[in-house]
Each structure stands twice: as C-alpha cells, then as structure tokens.
Amino acid sequence: MSDVNLLLTRIDNRLIHGQVGVTWVNHIGANLLIVANDKVSEDEVQQNLMDMVLPDVIQTRYFSLQKTIDVIHKASPRQKIFLVVRDVHDALKLKEGGVPIDFINVGNLHYEEGKKQISSTVSVDEKDIEAFKRLDELGVELDLRRVPSERGRNIIDLL
C-alpha cells in the first residue's frame, strides 16, 4: 500500500468543466483526475465529453465509488490526484470507505426545489447538511470556493 498523493477533492455537480479542467488542475499541479461517480463510470459519452475539456497531459479515470475505495491506495506516488465527486453524499461514502480525504473544496451544487442557497454556487437540503456535518465530525476541512483565487469559507459556518 502506497501513500496516496491526493492533492484535492472537489464537490462539483458538473464534474469536469473548464474551471475544474484548466484552472484547478493547473493550480494544484495534478496529473491524474479521478471522477468518482457510479453513473458516469458507465457512461462513455459523458466521459468523452469531459475529456475534451482537459489538456492532453492530464490522465482521467472514471470510477464507481466502490472502485475508487478499492483502488485509490494502489496509486503510484507519481500520480498527483485530483478527485472530483458530484455531491456531498459521494464524498462522505468515499471518506467512510477509507479514501484519505482531509480537505474538500466545495465548488458547485446547483439549486433545486427544496434546497436553500447558501452561496452563489451552492444550494443544500437537510440531507446535504447532515452529510457536511458528518464530514466535519470526521475531521475533513470543508472549503467553499469556486476558483483558487477566491477566498475560501468554511461551509459549516454557512449551514
């Protein structure tokens, strides 16, 4: 088992797009972007669309949550990993499954009926709030910010 070189975990319901694929990848120096999501891990069309956003030097993997839990500890130390998940529930499942997540960038959770907006890009419901609080209890730092140049805020303070 190697030490996982997990640079950043981001919650973004858009998964890979320009902000993630260019701005964040360059800012943290990642060379491997893992999307951990059960649906996307089986959707080649969506994977190909997301790959088009990324520079050629970035490798991508599209894993189910369980596969991410099973293989993340086998990563080479050369792999500088940027882990992207669609929502807080996926992040919590990964953390509880043993993925070494200590810091999460909360970037984007779209508004839907029944959710309250807590920032310009993040809306949550009661189940989301419970999951964020559980991650906080597990010692995960929860930093709300869209782009690296923005000043981050602890999402727990906004719930």
Q: Which residues are catalytic?
A: 17
- Residues with Cβ within 8 Å of 128's Cβ and at least 6 positions away in sequence, in order, are 87, 88, 89, 109, 115
Q: In sequence order, what are the beta bridge partners of 123? A: 117
Q: Closest Cα partner for 60 from 70, 47, 71?
A: 47
The Cα-based distances of 127 to 80, 98, 123, 152, 159 in angstroms read 31, 21, 12, 23, 12
DSSP 3-state of 146: coil
Residue 129's H or E segment, with its range, is helix 126-137
Q: In sequence order, what are the beta bridge partners of 116? A: 124
